[in-house]
Amino acid sequence: MPVPAEQTPTGTILVKTQENHLDCVVYARVSSNDQKPDLDRIVARIVEAVTLKGLRVSKTGAYFCSGLNGHRPKLKRLLSDSSVKIIAVEHKDRLRRFGYEYIESALQSQGRHLIVIDKSGIKNDLVEDMISVLTSFCARLYGRRAAKNKTKKALEVIKNGSDTQP
């Protein structure tokens, strides 16, 4: 048979569901290093939830990076690894703030799955999308302002440094 099965002494064939034999990779992310205690608790909650679903955790990944930053080499490596069949996250925005549905669809087309442990935060997608967009704009605005201020300070140091030289 193309799936795991077992024949009982009476001749009945019991087909075992694949989910019970699949390994799961846990992906957890927080935005900053000061949230490290939260990260450990998030990983523990995800591991507990997937274990209750009958899955084995083969690997956990816990990362510190902004949800607005699209440059996540470890996530890219995880998504491109075709041996990873199931990825579990606590909330969908922990994987990607934008484009979660595209990642989910791409993985499904390869026979792979995303498991979201806590779906309670997903109440009103339109409101969630607006919050995400506003957060992104604010981060860009404040990020530019911070970069502008750092540049201004660096130029002042260069200017003051050159004035004090003989």
DSSP 24-39: EEEEEEESSGGGHHHH
Q: Say if residue 112 is exposed, middle or buried (CB neighbours under 10 Å; 0-12, 13-18, 19+).
A: middle
What amino acid occupies position 20?
Answer: N
Sequence-distant (≥ 6) Cβ neighbours of residue 5 within 8 angstroms: 13, 14, 15, 16
Q: How many CB atoms lie within 10 A of CB 29?
A: 24
User: Is 58 known to be catalytic?
Assistant: no
Nearest to 78 by CA among 15, 24, 9: 24
What amino acid occupies position 13?
Answer: I
Question: 31, 58, 66, 136: which one is catalytic?
Answer: 31
For the record, the structure tokens of 97 come out as 């703030």
Which residues have a catalytic role annotated? Answer: 31
